[in-house]
Amino acid sequence: MSDEGRRFIELAVHVKLASEAVLEAARSLASLRPGDIDTEEAHAWRRTADELLATNVELGFIERILRAVTGAEITVSDPRSLPS
């Protein structure tokens, strides 16, 4: 594989890992949801949830761009198994 191809794969892997991290953070955030919706903590919770959503949308755009560049979907069963 060329250096350019390796870099591209590494970029795709990091985007996937970032997407998985956002998903895990959202799951964790859900368990911290405050009961009273009119507190400062609830407003901070909503802002955090909104930022996680925005980050996930941006990662989705990056994934689409990567697919468009390659002309096909990149599938890696375990990104950590790629050689460094």
Which tens digit of pLDDT belongs to each residue from 37-46? 899 999 999 9
Q: How far is CA 50 from CA 16, 26, 53, in A?
A: 20, 10, 5
Q: Looking at residue 25, what DSSP letter applies?
A: H
Q: Please give the pLDDT value at position 84.
A: 45
Element (H or E) spanning 18, and its range?
A: helix 3-31
> Whole-structure pTM over 0.85, yes or no?
no
Residue 5 pLDDT more than 90?
A: no
Higher pLDDT, 55 or 70: 55
Long-range contacts of 73-78 (CB under 8 A, 24+ apart): 74/9, 74/12, 76/9, 76/12, 76/13, 76/16
The answer to whether 48 and 29 have CB atoms below 8 angstroms apart is yes
| Predicted pLDDT of residue 72 | 58
Choose from 47-56, 59-68, 72-81 the range with maximum mean pLDDT. Answer: 47-56
